Amino acid sequence: MFNVFGHTTSPFGISAWQSSGSIYDWSIDMIMDSEDNADRTTRSELPDPSDDKEEKRVLSAALDSFRQYRRAAHYNITHLRRQSFYALPSAQVELLSSPALSLPKKFDAVDEAIDSNADIAEAILAIGLPSFGFGSQDESWKGHATPGDLDKARSTIRQLYRDWSAQGLPERHAAFSPILSALQQHLPETISSERHKHRVLVPGAGLGRLVFDICAAGYSVEGNEISYHQLLASNYILNCVSEPGQHRLYPWALNFSNHHTSSDQLQSVVIPDIHPAATLEAAAEQLKTKVPYSERMSMTAGDFCVLYRQIEYTEAFNAVATCFFIDTAPNVISYMETIRSCLKPGGLWINLGPLLWHFESAPTPADRDKQRGRTSNKYTHSHADENVGIGEPGSFELSNEEVIALVESLGFEIVEHRLAQPTGYIQDPESMLQNVYRPVFWVARRK
């Protein structure tokens, strides 16, 4: 079993998660600590120390990549650019430095933007370290980040635009609204104060905004995420930010293409757009729900299939909401079977997304390893999991028509199926290049 916080002898303490006044609790709480889940502890095989070692390496790499954000961005984005710039003939340097263009000033402004983004990365790190039991003297996590990890840190920081800025609302609205409407429409009718009786699972929870929105609507919701980068960032935003707009994010500053003006490149947003806890509290009051939000929201860490195929999750949820998720599967049948297994009979599977198969360009196991950014030849973080979850052998890609056929043949009835609203995904609305998804939306009911 892949379980980040898998057993009590793990070097990664979880006290910080619990003592920080968390909005939501993490997998360890779901899996290990809640009394009514105690049986899981005993049924889960404890990872052996070598698993912990590999697990710790992956975690360390994620932590280290947030530490290196500042230096790596200054180096790759502005330092090398200045070098290239000053390698130009001096007349050109002069022309490009003139007031009409002022490239050196742009580089300076980008450096300031990098610093502002790096402040966020370091805030995530500062909370992440004690949360995972790293003491202030412990430097064992340093120096583990690969270039792939640095990329993930950069894209995670940028993703805060989508999930936690006011400017990201159109993207969230396009992706989340149909899901929230479907919960209300297709789950058994209930007054809002009783919605907590519906348990919803969100695989691929990312930075947690959909989980948060579903909680704010009154449901009980559990997110699941495999990426430490995302887990660290969502924990910080949800549990540790003290006020709306605490940070200024420059989502496009590191990209130099397709801008109409330099000020387009240097647009900034503040994050988060709201204070998560205060907003949930206000929402709960309005809903008159009897169960406080902190008991209606949780997050698990680990491989979706491995975790939710466990017997204790059998028929545990009233709904599963997959948003830009199913195409992350090398084997989408495993996702479907897992979703079916953890849904109650009559339960809903709500899906919205395109089919950008993440493993399309990786038809061999070695390529898949590379694509996952693994440096070892392990298929998942820990040794025990080589051939399970996303580490399973075999892969394939389907058209939407085929996905639907498969959903139906695996024990679901399609109750709604349509094109969703076109939307970008972390898309600068001013850019000369718009990557626009035209996702499908469908709702299936477990027979």
Q: Under the criterion CB under 8 A, does residue 45 sit at the interface with a copy of itself?
A: no
Residue among 89, 242, 285, 418 that touches a copy of itself (CB under 8 A): 89
Instruction: Scan residues 137-196 and list those touching a copy of itself (CB under 8 A).
Output: none
- Other beta carbons within 10 angstroms of residue 187's beta carbon come to 19
* Integer Cα distance of 21 and 240 in angstroms: 8
Burial of 45 (0-12, 13-18, 19+ CB in 10 A): exposed
**Residue that the structure tokens 């709604």 belong to:** 416
With contacts defined by CB under 8 A, name the span among 267-275, 291-299, 314-322, 359-367 that binds a copy of itself: 359-367
Single-letter code of the amino acid located at 86: Y
Q: C-beta of 325: minimal distance to a copy of itself in Å?
A: 14
Residue among 39, 105, 409, 413 that touches a copy of itself (CB under 8 A): 409
* β-strand partners of 23: none
13 vs 354, beta carbon nearer a copy of itself: 354
38 vs 432, beta carbon nearer a copy of itself: 432
Question: Residue 80 is encoded by which pair of tokens?
Answer: 């090398």
Could you give the angle at which helices 169-186 and 147-164 cross, rounded to 10 degrees?
70
46 vs 333, beta carbon nearer a copy of itself: 333
With contacts defined by CB under 8 A, name the span among 42-50, 78-86, 145-153, 175-183 that binds a copy of itself: 78-86
346 vs 363, beta carbon nearer a copy of itself: 363
> What are the distances in angstroms from CA 413 to CA 265, 406, 447?
46, 11, 7
Q: C-beta of 368: minimal distance to a copy of itself in Å?
A: 9
> What are the distances in angstroms from CA 65 to CA 60, 119, 157, 313?
8, 13, 11, 33
**Residue that the structure tokens 């006011």 belong to:** 166
* Integer Cα distance of 262 and 377 in angstroms: 43
Residue among 291, 316, 333, 388 that touches a copy of itself (CB under 8 A): 333
Question: Residue 126 is encoded by which pair of tokens?
Answer: 């500062």
With contacts defined by CB under 8 A, name the span among 19-27, 61-69, 228-236, 394-402 that binds a copy of itself: 394-402
Write the DSSP assignment of 78-120 as a string of letters: IIHHHHHHHTS-HHHHHHHHSTTT-HHHHHHHHHHHHHHHHHH
With contacts defined by CB under 8 A, name the span among 83-91, 180-188, 239-247, 371-379 that binds a copy of itself: 83-91
With contacts defined by CB under 8 A, name the span among 18-26, 181-189, 260-268, 370-378 that binds a copy of itself: 260-268
Question: Residues in contact with a copy of itself, total (CB under 8 A)?
Answer: 62
72 vs 301, beta carbon nearer a copy of itself: 72
Q: Under the criterion CB under 8 A, does residue 406 sit at the interface with a copy of itself?
A: yes
Write the DSSP assignment of 246-272 as a string of letters: -EEE-TTTT--SS-SSHHHHT--EEE-
Q: Which residue ranges make up the site for a copy of itself (CB under 8 A)?
A: 76, 80-81, 83-89, 92, 95-96, 98, 100-101, 103, 255-262, 264-265, 327, 331, 333, 354-357, 360, 363-364, 393-402, 405-406, 408-409, 422, 431-440
